[in-house]
């Protein structure tokens, strides 16, 4: 199903991106999964070809395109694998917009061109060992001393954490603020700052090539010039930008479900049992029909929300609906598709096994399913 807003320019962008991924990503993805890393060279190739931050104004080296091109980027990277799409989409469409929207002219000139080229990889440091969904409860703190903030704390589960050249850190600049969220600010910490170190690379059950790590801040002197936006407004900025992050995750989950169904249909058509293709069995047909229906509904919804997001509508409720329902739907699809593969589905050499491992975390990161339902309930004035 083709979205109504897609133009010839969109198709040319997708075709060019696919051509690059066919050459530079698909042949190496299994190797990247085994080595548990994506080469830095790949980021630079993405930048050279104009696929990172396509929405940034031409004044900073971008293409000046709208979110629908970012949607294509998320879709095509997800078709390769979630370990690839998570880090690049986070850099391109979740972290970098904070710099574009909140940054001073000096900050934008300093960082955006190198984010576009792939020379700078970004991360956003929200989650802590003791604070996840409750962002107002972060313990990482920064006290101002003259022209610097002295930053202390720990962050965990940080996508791009180990390779990030620049991390936007959610921290308390006013620990006595009431309510607590009014004391939160965003500081940009750069690679090489004294006291900024990385912890261990986290050993995940899925998304193996995706970089997920710990960040440690010990009396890091962060220039006041690295404050993003205004002091004390960090929580507001996070809430404002989470709409796009959750829409990106919904799009990724949607594509993951589509890919799992595609490879499963191919498998059941070719797998024989009791003298015929297992696609001929009524149970198989019913399961495929059920999944195809849910996936089609999900596609219609994310396309509609993407179009509304481009026009800057407030669709926090709808994006929360999409994020929880499509991530949970993709988990159901993963389980059904693995089951239809039989014993082969449990073998690592089959793509469905990898996608089955990768998908569960999507109902946890960027806001859990329960947090999404809480947001929806508030928007319904409950």
Catalytic site residues?
245
Q: Is the dihedral of CA 73, 77, 82, 88 positive or negative?
A: negative
Nearest by Cα to 173 from 124, 106, 235, 102? 235
- Would you call 82 helix, strand, or coil by DSSP? helix
Task: Find the radius of gyration of the CA atoms of the chain.
Answer: 21
Nearest by Cα to 194 from 170, 223, 218, 163? 218
Cβ–Cβ under 8 Å, residues 316 and 263: no
Phi, psi of 168 (to 5 degrees): -85, 115
Residue with tokens 């993407």: 306
CB atoms within 10 A of CB 34: 11
Nearest by Cα to 70 from 295, 322, 309, 238? 309
Question: What tokens appear for 266 in the block?
Answer: 């191919």
How do strand 184-190 and strand 227-228 relate by DSSP bridges?
A: antiparallel
How do strand 196-201 and strand 212-223 relate by DSSP bridges?
A: antiparallel
Cβ–Cβ under 8 Å, residues 271 and 336: no
Phi, psi of 62 (to 5 degrees): -85, -175
């Amino acid at each position: 199903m083709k979205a109504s807003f897609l133009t010839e320019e969109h198709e040319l962008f997708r075709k060019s991106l696919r051509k690059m991924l066919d050459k530079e990503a698909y042949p190496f993805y299994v190797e990247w999964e085994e080595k548990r890393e994506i080469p830095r060279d790949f980021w630079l190739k993405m930048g050279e070809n104009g696929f990172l931050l396509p929405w940034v104004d031409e004044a900073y080296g971008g293409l000046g395109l709208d979110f629908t091109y970012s949607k294509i980027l998320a879709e095509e990277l997800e078709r390769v694998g979630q370990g690839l799409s998570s880090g690049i989409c986070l850099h391109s469409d979740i972290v970098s917009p904070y710099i574009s929207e909140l940054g001073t002219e000096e900050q934008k000139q300093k960082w955006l061109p190198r984010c576009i080229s792939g020379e700078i990889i970004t991360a956003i440091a929200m989650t802590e060992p003791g604070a996840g969904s409750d962002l107002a409860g972060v313990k990482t703190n920064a006290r101002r001393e003259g022209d610097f903030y002295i930053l202390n704390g720990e962050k965990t589960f940080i996508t791009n954490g180990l390779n990030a050249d620049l991390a936007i850190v959610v921290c308390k600049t006013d620990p006595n603020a009431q309510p607590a969220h009014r004391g939160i600010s965003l500081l940009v910490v750069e690679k090489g700052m004294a006291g900024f170190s990385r912890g261990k690379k986290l050993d995940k059950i899925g998304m193996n090539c995706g970089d997920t790590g710990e960040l440690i801040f010990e009396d890091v002197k962060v220039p006041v010039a690295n404050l993003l936006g205004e002091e004390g407004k960090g929580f507001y900025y996070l809430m404002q930008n989470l709409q796009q992050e959750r829409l990106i995750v919904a799009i990724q989950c949607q594509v993951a479900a589509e890919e799992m169904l595609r490879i499963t249909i191919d498998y059941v058509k070719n797998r024989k049992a009791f003298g015929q293709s297992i696609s001929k069995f009524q149970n198989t047909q019913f399961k495929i029909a059920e999944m195809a229906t849910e996936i089609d509904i999900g596609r219609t919804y994310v396309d509609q929300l993407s179009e509304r997001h481009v026009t800057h509508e407030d669709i926090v409720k709808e994006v929360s609906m999409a994020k929880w329902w499509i991530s949970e739907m993709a988990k159901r699809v993963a389980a059904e598709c693995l089951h239809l593969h039989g014993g082969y589905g449990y073998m690592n050499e089959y793509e469905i096994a990898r996608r089955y491992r990768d998908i569960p975390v999507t109902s946890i990161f960027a806001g859990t399913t329960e947090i999404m339902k809480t947001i929806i309930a508030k928007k319904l004035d409950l």
